Copies of this chain bind each other. A is one copy, B any other.
Amino acid sequence: MTTPDLSRRGAVFSLAAALAAPIGSARGATPPPTQHGKSEPDTSHPEPADRPGASTKPAPKTAADDLYRPWLHFTPATGFMNDPNGMVFDGTHYHLYYQFDPFAPYAGRVHWGHAISTDMLHWQDQPIAIPQTPAGEAFSGSAVIDAKNTCGLFTTPLTPAPQTPPSQTPPAQPQAAPIPTPGANLVAIYTRASARNQSQYLAWSTDNGRTFTEYHTPVLDIGSNSFRDPKVFFHTPTGRWIMVLAKSREHKVGIYGSIDLIHWMMLSDFGPTGLLGVDYECPNLIEVPFDEGGTRWVMFVSVNPGAPQGGSITQYFVGDFNGTEFIAHETTIGLTDFAKDNYALQCFDNMPNDEAVGIAWLSNWQYCEELPNKAWRGVMTLPRTLSLTRDHGGWIRLVQMPRGIETLRDRQIAKPLTHLDAGTSQQTPLPAGVPVELNLHITMDERPQGLEPGDKGRAGRFIIVFANENGETLSIGFDAFSSQIWLDRSDLHGFTQPFFTGQFSTALQPDKRDVTFRLVLDACTLELFVDGGTSVGTALVFPSAPLTELRLEASGAGATIHGLEVHTLKKAMDRPGIPA
């Protein structure tokens, strides 16, 4: 390894330069967007003049954009968002960067958007952090706090990064909130992607992640156009930085080491293993607490397309990391979700107490560019605390639970309920458009004697139904006598598309009749955590009107209700379409 050449360390980004960058996407054949629709031009947002031929304003807002806008889940004010990036805690704020085009309703021209938060729920928008440049789009990557300045780039303070003139602020991007200075030594590592090459770049920030200066050359380039999404962390036992990234078409995760974040040495490959699909993307390697004590290393690998459920999926492997190699304990694989809108999971770096917390993109490449909302597209999952537990079969499995949403609870609206007889239901009205959290623990009664198995409605099922005035329903059900659950969004009529699968299901521990549900329903999102987060279903949902009734139904057998809470949740985000 050699000392980095600090004489020509890099270029400070300006948004003007970003917006003047050449267009075109390496991720699929994305032609230049043109003007959308034929409605009146929206003149409320300034339109940079230096981006010839490209649309520089969001698609006109429609009713769908408001109807489907979550109140808690992070969404971009305008434009298209996909993978979470650069997730790091700087000592004061959590940073969420993300794949972003502020104008288009489609993927392409990828910049790094940016938001900060002190609780991972209330996010404050920041200016675009890393733009597309002539070297390529700014594809996914990660961020670390280089407290010891191992990269050497923080020793000679740069001239402060130029602030973006207001006239070139992307539309609906609020002014940045003040970030305390002096900043943590925040370093981003990400992929510059052109049609021919994907190489890893580094940029550092002296203002706590608000603006970045890019190192003048790639820090890792193997001449591949299928080599992306670096996730970096510091491995204390070996005293070096570790990068995992996808050799996408080879279905391998490359593992590299570095002492300075700039010079990287190949250590090993993980894979191919498990479900391959077409591309591996967005690997994450993280130490996750195990409820039997200690931790285990978990390798997350996103796959797209080609998931068994269709399109995009994230699989994981539990094992050990010795500083050089990741060794999976078994050749079994887990999936982070039994539905299909949970992709590109990334975990926060530099977390206090080594808490494992991740956020994923709540969508699927099969339909993310065709959703009914168009002025904004893309939503993140809630932050989720990750842990490990042993399942009924003895396998170590991922546990995911939403983090911190108790702080958003407003009114408890559930009616008392201790038992539902077979064939009965209980209705509770829901305030239109307001997010709700449901917590429920039930035990189905024993199977009635003399019933034949199987036929519809006689099988012993507990069903949670969200319904609206148009007769549409979203159902989550427990089939007690096969110990399976389902999530059925097929009776919502706000969006249909051949890849937008209606039904999902998974198997719980066999031969048990009790189950716990925790779910958050927030506009176009449903996050379902079953049996303490050991089974998770994450789904986009598009009712044609708000879901204003909660119905609990017992079918085929009765059910004892051990606990039932339904809370409305307060908004966490300020966004167009969310009441003030």
Contacts and interface: CB of A to CB of B under 8 A. Distances in A.
Interface of A: 28-31, 33-34, 36, 105-108, 249, 251, 272-278, 305-311, 313, 328, 330-333, 335, 338, 365-366, 369-370, 393, 395, 447, 449-456, 459, 475, 477, 479, 481-484, 486, 488, 490, 497-507, 510
A363 to B, nearest CB: 12
A450 B506 CA distance: 42
A14 to B, nearest CB: 28
Nearest to A311: B505
Given A272-B332, A273-B331, A332-B251, A370 B475 contact: no
Nearest to A482: B305
Interface centre among A328, A450, A497, A498 (most CB of B within 10 A): A498
B366 A453 contact: no
Contacts of A275: 332-333
A278 B331 contact: no
Contact of A507 (B273, B306, B483): B306
A137 to B, nearest CB: 15
B482 A498 contact: no
Contacts of A105: 454
A352 to B, nearest CB: 35
A294 to B, nearest CB: 22
A109 to B, nearest CB: 12
Interface SS, A side: loop
Nearest to A488: B498
Nearest to A105: B454
Contact of A482 (B106, B333, B366): B366
Copies of this chain: 2
20 contacts: A28-B453, A31-B447, A33-B452, A105-B454, A107-B453, A249-B393, A251-B332, A272-B331, A272-B395, A273-B331, A305-B483, A308-B313, A310-B486, A311-B484, A331-B331, A366-B482, A477-B498, A484-B499, A486-B499, A502-B503
Nearest to A277: B507
A330 B507 contact: no
A395 B450 contact: no
A338 to B, nearest CB: 7
Contacts of A505: 310-311, 366, 498-499, 501
A451 B30 CA distance: 9
Contact of A272 (B29, B107, B330): B330
For the complex of A and B, 9 pairs with smallest distance between CB atoms: A369-B454, A308-B308, A306-B507, A310-B505, A305-B507, A273-B331, A331-B331, A486-B498, A501-B503
B308 A307 contact: yes
Contacts of A332: 251, 272-276
B276 A393 contact: yes
Given A29-B481, A277-B507, 18 more contacts: A28-B482, A31-B449, A106-B454, A108-B453, A251-B393, A272-B395, A276-B395, A278-B510, A305-B484, A307-B308, A308-B313, A308-B335, A310-B506, A369-B455, A370-B456, A486-B499, A490-B502, A498-B505
Contacts of A500: 503
B498 A273 contact: no
B482 A365 contact: yes
A33 B455 CA distance: 12
A459 B36 CA distance: 16
A453 B31 contact: yes
A105 B454 CA distance: 9
A274 B31 contact: no
B475 A29 contact: no
A452 B31 contact: yes
B456 A475 contact: no
A510 B249 CA distance: 10
Nearest to A305: B507
Contacts of A330: 272-273
A203 to B, nearest CB: 28
Contacts of A308: 307-309, 313, 335, 338
A482 to B, nearest CB: 6
A106 B395 CA distance: 32
A484 B312 CA distance: 12
Interface centre among A29, A107, A310, A455 (most CB of B within 10 A): A310
A477 to B, nearest CB: 5
A488 B307 CA distance: 16
A265 to B, nearest CB: 26
A281 to B, nearest CB: 13
Nearest to A457: B370
Interface centre among A311, A369, A453 (most CB of B within 10 A): A453
Contacts of A28: 453, 481-482
Interface centre among A105, A450, A501 (most CB of B within 10 A): A501
Contacts of A331: 272-274, 328, 331
